[in-house]
Amino acid sequence: MDWTDLIDTAFDVAGNSSSSTRAEALRTVEASVAADEKPVASTAGRHPDHFRKGVLVLTTHRLLFLKDGKPPVPVPLSAVTDATVTKSRINGEVLLVVALTGSHRFEDVIKAEVFAEQVRAAARLAREAAQKSQAAAPAAAPSSGADLLDQLERLAALHTAGALTDEEFSRAKQRLIG
């Protein structure tokens, strides 16, 4: 499944046939997609702050709520701690996603139980990936710090020897430091 299929399916479920809205949603998502981010699932639902339904897009990295070309409401999956569904006569199936960034409520969610299970599974995978990268990061940090220090010392030596002007030294140091 690619991004276009995912968004088209969700807008079909939401009952929104506007091709301009779909195209805008696709542009919004594709503009902020990480290099290794992949589409997982989508459904339709309503954010409590909006009257009309929008689209819930689940990726390998985050949950997005898209509606009428507005900026997406992102929820990073590595921060998600729970996703539950309740039923209400007024609001239909309500999906509550609890994350370290806050809780997010979506109402009238189509196939909310299935989608909640997909959110929980994707969040579990995202947390595991984050833990693996954090475990690998401390081992790599000392060598990159030592390399940076060596490069700065070489720059300082070149500057002291007169091979670099003050301006050249400053620019090269800024490039190294970031």
Is 0.75 surpassed by the pTM of this model? Answer: no
Architecture of the 3-132 domain: Roll (2.30)
**SS3 labels along 114-175:** HHHHHHHHHHHHHHHHHHHHHHHHHHHHHHHHHHHHHHHHHHHHHHHHCCCCHHHHHHHHHH
- Beta partners for residue 83, in sequence order: 97
Instruction: Tell me the helix, strand and coil percentages in the chain, rounded to 5.
Output: 50, 25, 25
What tens digit of pLDDT does each residue of 78-135 get? Answer: 889 999 999 999 889 999 999 887 889 999 999 999 999 999 999 999 888 888 877 7
Dihedral angle over CA of 4, 7, 12, 14, nearest 10:
-170
Average model confidence (pLDDT) for the chain?
81
- Across 143-162, average pLDDT: 73
Q: What percent of the chain has pLDDT over 90?
A: 22
Output DSSP code: residue 22: H
- Across 26-53, average pLDDT: 81
First to last CA, the chain: 37
pLDDT band at 138 (very low <50, low <70, confident <90, very high): low
